[in-house]
Structure 1
Amino acid sequence: MNCASQPFFTGAHGGPPTYEMLKEEHEVAVLGAPQTSAPVATTVINIRSETSVPDHVVWSLFNTLFMNWCCLGFVAFAYSVKARDRKMVGDIIGAQSYASTAKCLNIWALVLGLLLIIAFIIVCTTGSLVIFQAVLQLIKDYRGY
């Protein structure tokens, strides 16, 4: 077993490496091998970007179950399913077209459904107030006030 100490880094002349030698080794490691004038072969890989096309199926299902004004929710659900089918086939343009139609129908179904609910609440509250006032008037007439 040799117990003689040896330097960890050895330069070209047997001594410790200089700053310039270390800098050159670092540049070679970072930049790669020296460039030559030989033609370089390149490989191009085309990766299809997955464009996310929302199909609005959940929104259409909600509108079909709860806001189905003039069957707009059901028609929107049909277009959403068509958009999903087009997306699975790979037809992004067709999927976007069907999804856009489904979104428009969903918006109309939601707006008309909310208007219907608000109108129903207004009719119920005013109707109950009219009935309450009529009952009070009957009670007053009955008692003779």
Structure 2
Amino acid sequence: MNPSGHYEPFPLQGGYPGQPAGPSVVQHTVVNISEPPKDHIIWSICTLFYGNPCCLGLAALIYSVKARDRKMVGDLYSARGYGTTAFRINTAAVILICLIFFLIIISVSVSVASASNRN
């Protein structure tokens, strides 16, 4: 103790009163918070109703419903797998929809241009 009445710990001494002697050990607790798997059900419904090339929207909706069911049961591993499959099918469907849309625009513009050249 020093004369002022305040306790000052020195290196290699115990810390403050009530602490064990020796070097102080800081312990950190790691909390692993993982977000629940996504089922992409809204995207699958939009793909089903607004453009359904090769029935990919229906397949994506089926996998989305399976992912949601697995998530409700508590099987997060299977839910993540079904959700990933629904995501990939939705992505493929959107790419196909965009390609078809651009092909239609190109074919209409070429046919209009060729019709105007004939006149």
TM-score by length of 2: 0.73
Mapped to 2, the partners of 1:124 and 1:114 lie a distance apart of 15
Moved over 6 A (4+): none
Tell whether 2:33 aligns with 1:33: no
TM-score by length of 1: 0.61
Q: 1:128 to 1:32 in 2, by over 3 A?
A: farther
Q: Residue type matched to 1:105 in 2?
A: I
Q: How does 1:57-72 map to 2 (within 5 A)?
A: 57-72=41-56
Tell whether 2:71 aligns with 1:87: yes
Aligned Cα root-mean-square deviation (Å): 2.7
Q: Residue type matched to 1:33 in 2?
A: G
Q: How does 1:1-145 map to 2 (within 5 A)?
A: 18-19=3-4, 21-23=5-7, 33-35=18-20, 49-134=33-118, 136=119
Bigger relative CO (Cα 8 Å, ≥ 6 apart): 2
Mapped to 1, the partners of 2:71 and 2:54 lie a distance apart of 28
- Give unmatched runs, 5+ long, in structure 1: 1-16, 25-29, 37-46, 137-145
Percent identity at matched positions? Answer: 33
Mapped to 1, the partners of 2:41 and 2:17 lie a distance apart of 52
- Give unmatched runs, 5+ long, in structure 2: 9-14, 22-30
Mapped to 2, the partners of 1:69 and 1:50 lie a distance apart of 34
Relative to its length, the structure with more helix (as a share) is 1
Mapped to 2, the partners of 1:131 and 1:111 lie a distance apart of 30
* Structure 1 residue 81: Cα displacement: 1.4
SS in 1 for 2:56: helix
